[in-house]
Amino acid sequence: MRSLQLQMNKTIQLQDLGNKDYKATWEYQEELFKAIVDLKIRNRREELNLPTPNHFLFVEHPHVYTLGKSGDLSNLLLSEKQLEAKGATFYKINRGGDITYHGPGQIVGYPILDLENFFTDIHKYLRFLEEAIILTLAEYGIISGRSEGETGVWLGVGTPFARKICAMGVRASRWVTMHGFALNVNADLGYFDNIIPCGIRGKAVTSLNVELGVEKVNESEVKEKIVKHFKELFEAEFSS
């Protein structure tokens, strides 16, 4: 039985990066991720019991399309020149999932957690990410849920009007996570017309402001609700 269990750290350091370039944010994620993994390796090698940190990044990206490691490039419907014309960038990245879009009006969350501080179950982790969003949307009177075999949060599941409001894709190694979720709050949905979102044909994408029939939703308020539900689900504390 490992004594490491005595040093479970359930405090999560919260940072709001504001509007930040995708590549710069990805590199920052990698830096935090590597520091946790390196500490875990050192703990094991030197038989230490140093607590590992956890991070949660909020960010909004300029227009960008990202393709997961198992994704199909044909799901991007724009040429390089067309991307430039739309002021968008494109990256192949090391998360799961297919293609998605990030841009202004979207709340992106990147939990970089050592799951050994919480539970060692990736399936449960993904379900908890979804649940935090489902509970947040419920506070706005929006009923959402899961679509079988399709990670993320959906509205109108089981109807001809199914539409995705939150995409998810994560990477995990040695029980350390990175990447996360992208919730459309005040998003320009026109940018989704340039891809087959998550490689799923025939299903629409929506945004919270559209569903509520308002011009703009208070994004700071949405973030507060996400953090509240994340804390409850993970039995965690947040520090900034």
Q: Are 207 and 213 in contact (CB under 8 A)?
A: no
- 100 assigned ligand-binding residue: yes
- 96 assigned ligand-binding residue: yes
Alpha carbons 58 and 219: distance in angstroms, whole number: 11
First to last CA, the chain: 33
Helix %, strand %, coil % of the chain (to 5): 35, 30, 35
Per annotation, catalytic residue among 195, 198, 227, 236: 198
Alpha carbons 217 and 209: distance in angstroms, whole number: 6
- 142 assigned ligand-binding residue: no
Please report how many Cα atoms fall inside a 13 Å half-sphere around the Cα of residue 181, on the Cβ side.
Answer: 27
Q: Is 166 a catalytic site residue?
A: no
- 90 assigned ligand-binding residue: no
- 152 assigned ligand-binding residue: no
- 230 assigned ligand-binding residue: no
- 119 assigned ligand-binding residue: no
Three-class SS state of 221: helix
- 97 assigned ligand-binding residue: yes
Please report how many Cα atoms fall inside a 13 Å half-sphere around the Cα of residue 152, on the Cβ side.
Answer: 26
Query: How far is C-alpha 36 from the chain's CA centre?
Result: 19
- 98 assigned ligand-binding residue: yes
- 99 assigned ligand-binding residue: yes
Residues known to be catalytic: 198
Binding-site sequence positions for substrate: 95-102, 167-169, 180-182
Binding-site sequence positions: 95-102, 167-169, 180-182
